[in-house]
Amino acid sequence: ENDLIVSKTDLKGRVTYVNDVFCRVGLYTEGELLGQPHSIVRHPEMPRAVFHLLWQRIQNGEEIFAYVKNMAKNGDHYWVLAHVTPSHDLQGRVEGFHSNRRLPRRAALAEIEPLYRTLQAEEQRHADRKQGMQAALGLLEQDLRQRGTDYDRYILGLATRD
């Protein structure tokens, strides 16, 4: 509950660092992860639209918080609240990405899981993967408008709401 999962990637999303918690939770060794695409832990039930939003934000030099369903090496899943930020070199150029992840609150997952199922169902409804992802992003934006909030306020609100 109090542990942080930490990883770093290069600009293409290949793993360059993992902490022991990442290895323990994901059931991987450090050697199995280094050099691999971070998507090695992507759970197939995770909406592509959320990852699209994540990559868009960090490639623009912004941080993002996101609830992510990951998959351990044995196929089990685990949820995290991820905080992903760009890493900069001494000249201020983005050289990769850093992610800290922690155990999310159950109440947050009770709200996120149905939303993610809806997004993924929309993605799968389209034969073209890109169109499906765009349609799911539209649904997410519509949901946030109906809630009267934006993505960041919604996600952080779930993280802190009692």
> What confidence tens digit (pLDDT) does each residue in 107-153 have?
999 999 999 999 999 999 999 999 999 999 999 999 999 999 999 99
Burial of 35 (0-12, 13-18, 19+ CB in 10 A): exposed
Task: Name the 3-class secondary structure at 1.
Answer: coil
Confidence band (pLDDT; 50, 70, 90) for 161? confident
Q: Give the C-alpha separation, 68 to 62, whole Å.
A: 18
Give the pLDDT score at 62: 94
Q: What percent of the chain has pLDDT over 90?
A: 95
- pLDDT band of 49, cuts 50, 70, 90: very high
pTM score of the predicted model: 0.93
How confident is the model at residue 162, as a pLDDT? 62
Decide if pLDDT at 58 tops 70.
yes
